[in-house]
Amino acid sequence: MRSAVRAEVFLAALLVSSAHAGPLHAQCRLEWNFGISCYNVYTSLVIQIKLWTSIDNCIKEGGERCLYELQSANEHYIVAKHRNLLHNYVDDLTFKLMSSGAMQSCRVSAFSVSDPWYVMLDNGINYCNLRNLVEGSGLDAVPGFSESTDDFRCTQYSSANCTIY
């Protein structure tokens, strides 16, 4: 009986996943490239996370550019959380920073995942958790900036509206 229920749950998840062509759990994995040092990227991201810890910014500006919480950080790895204002759940964020080109450029692997196990679709919230930080810090305007992701690696990426989320 248990294995039949597990098979049904697996098949249902597989059907939902194929319907939206992305991960089985709401998440986002992306890569950024910056033409500046990882130290500058690290500093900018950490400062931005700290600036957006309270709800005040969301009250003034709208959207989800608030309620970030820095867990740990060094020049190579940043861990943070973001509490979703609209749905009141927590997303876990990680940033892995890798220097390249004689340390004059930086590649970042960023990941955001919804904490509740049952969240499968997120309207691009996990993408916006990451994108809002890079835009808020101005890193999207630095020389050599590029971003790489898609709907397969990032739940509902193509329909994300980061002015709301």
pLDDT of 106 strictly over 60? yes
What's the whole-number mean pLDDT along residues 11-16?
44
- In the chain the domains, ranked by start, together with CATH numbers, are 23-159 (3.30.530.20)
Return all residues near 34 (Cβ < 8 A) that are at least 6 apart: 40, 41, 105, 106, 107, 108, 139, 142, 144, 145
18 confidence band (pLDDT: 50, 70, 90): very low
| Residue 87: CA count within 13 A, CB half-sphere | 17
pLDDT at residue 20 in the model: 46
pLDDT of 77 strictly over 80? yes
Residue, of 33 and 24, whose pLDDT is higher: 33
Give the residue among 100, 52, 92, 54 at the shortest CA–CA distance from 72.
92
Inter-residue contact 134 to 140 (CB < 8 Å): yes
The token duo for 37 is: 């040092």
Adjacent-strand bridge partners of 114: 91
Tell me what percent of the residues of the chain surpass a pLDDT of 90.
Answer: 65
The 10s digit of each residue's pLDDT in 110-149 is 999 998 777 887 888 999 999 999 999 999 999 999 999 9
Give the residue among 141, 153, 140 at the shortest CA–CA distance from 21.
153
pLDDT of 19 strictly over 50? no
Q: How many CB atoms lie within 10 A of CB 149?
A: 18
Inter-residue contact 28 to 126 (CB < 8 Å): yes
pTM over 0.85: no
Considering the chain, what is the average pLDDT of its residues? 87
